[in-house]
Amino acid sequence: MPGKTTKPRRTTVARTKNTVRPPARPRATGRAETLLAELAALKTADVQERERIRGELVELHLPLVRREARRYRNRGEPMDDLCQVGTLGLMKAIRGFDPSFGKPFVAYLLPMVTGELKRHFRDTTWAVRVPRAHQEKRSELNRVVAEFTHKEGRTPTTKEIASALELDVEQTIELIDAASAYSALSLDMPFGEADDETALGETLGSTDHALESVVDKEALKGALDRLPERERRVVLLRFFGNKTQSEIATDVGLSQMHVSRLLSQTLRRMRRDLAGE
């Protein structure tokens, strides 16, 4: 009988956890620490070498900056602008870091980048979307209020602001309301002389004072009584309860922009009523 033909047995090599893999690329973190140590060792006079090292450190950490910037991409700011803001924080971190701090550079860097991004939104963005014309007029409003207050020793009325800006009173009230939608820090910033700590928010003429200077309280009460319930409530909260538009929106269950429009429409209606139109 012919012998049985046996198939060659396949030899398998089991993979183990200790399988050697190709060496990985050097980590950016390690390179960064080396560069930072070199930078710290350089003399102040080595300007070109210091700038070269700082440039390489910026390139190494740009991916991290972009990652942090993406967290803020849905706030209406272009991504390129956010990356530039984050890069400013990166450059500040490079200049301020000292290896003797005893902690990794990334631990020092991240708060600097996120802090710069948060500062950008706090200082330069609007809490609600307002017409561009109002945004552009805001700086002019600030200038008029500052100059008048410095010259006259008191805050201007809405009518005086309107005259200076060549607007009617209604447009001026809308502009002041729009300015109140700007970030809280901007309204708290001093705007006078170097030793003047007066804040912009303290100098804006209050609309309730303007109303009281035009009509007497009895006439105003009658106009308020003739308003629908919701409009009357919004006006009372804004001008007599000293509530912000944001607080009113929460109170009455509307958006802040809706409250702003409702106030403008209601003030127009009250003026027509008071004027007997």
66-100: pLDDT as tens digits: 999 888 877 667 888 888 888 988 988 888 888 88
* Same domain (yes/no): 34, 116: yes
Domain for residue 80, yes or no?
Answer: yes
Q: How many domains does the chain have?
A: 3
Domain for residue 62, yes or no?
Answer: yes
Of 89, 96, 34, whose CA–CA distance to 66 is shortest? 89
- On the question of pLDDT at 53 being above 60, the answer is yes
* Same domain (yes/no): 186, 273: no
Q: How many CA atoms lie within 13 A of 195 on its CB side?
A: 0
At which of 100, 124, 148 does a domain end? Answer: 124
Q: What CATH number has the domain bearing residue 188?
A: 1.20.140.160
Domain for residue 10, yes or no?
Answer: no
Question: Can you give the residue range of the structural domain that contains 56?
Answer: 28-124
217-251: pLDDT as tens digits: 555 667 777 888 888 888 888 777 777 888 888 88
The reported pLDDT for the residue numbered 184 is 40
Count other C-beta atoms under 10 Å from residue 127's C-beta: 14
* Same domain (yes/no): 89, 168: no
At which of 86, 108, 124 does a domain end? Answer: 124
Domain for residue 178, yes or no?
Answer: yes
At which of 206, 236, 268 does a domain end? Answer: 206
* Same domain (yes/no): 201, 131: yes
In this structure, what token pair is assigned to residue 44?
């102040």
* Same domain (yes/no): 113, 177: no
Judge contact between 266 and 277, C-beta under 8 A: no
The reported pLDDT for the residue numbered 269 is 79
Q: By mean pLDDT, which of 117-121, 135-139, 259-263, 265-269 is the weakest?
A: 135-139
Q: What CATH number has the domain bearing residue 120?
A: 1.20.120.1810
Domain for residue 8, yes or no?
Answer: no
* Same domain (yes/no): 99, 120: yes
Q: What CATH number has the domain bearing residue 233?
A: 1.10.10.10
Domain for residue 139, yes or no?
Answer: yes
Domain for residue 14, yes or no?
Answer: no
99-142: pLDDT as tens digits: 887 788 888 888 999 888 888 776 555 444 545 555 567 667 77
Q: What pTM does this model have?
A: 0.39
Domain for residue 91, yes or no?
Answer: yes
- On the question of pLDDT at 162 being above 80, the answer is yes
- Three-state secondary structure readout of 204-271: CCCHHHHHHHHCCHHHHHHHHHCCCHHHHHHHHHHHHCCCCHHHHHHHHCCCHHHHHHHHHHHHHHHH
